[in-house]
Amino acid sequence: MSEDRLEKALEAIRSEQVNSEQLEEAAGRVREKLYGSSALLCSEF
């Protein structure tokens, strides 16, 4: 039963409409988390 609820939630997320401004803001937050803290990255790279 919980698998069905998960599938419904995923489908709702997939069908959600997002405007380009929201998408760019979200992408910026992801980039900041990935690249903003160099302490989390391996120094060899």
The model's pLDDT over 7-28, given as tens digits with 9 standing for 90+, comes to: 999 999 999 999 999 999 999 9
The pLDDT of residue 42 is above 70 = no
Residue whose entry in the numeric block shows the structure tokens 């990935």: 34
Predicted model pTM: 0.51
The closest alpha carbon to 16, from 24, 8, 5, belongs to 8
Measured distance CA(4)–CA(16) in Å, rounded: 18
Residues 6+ apart with CB under 8 A from 17: none
Between 35 and 26, where is the model more confident?
A: 26
Q: Torsions phi, psi of 16, nearest 5?
A: -70, 135
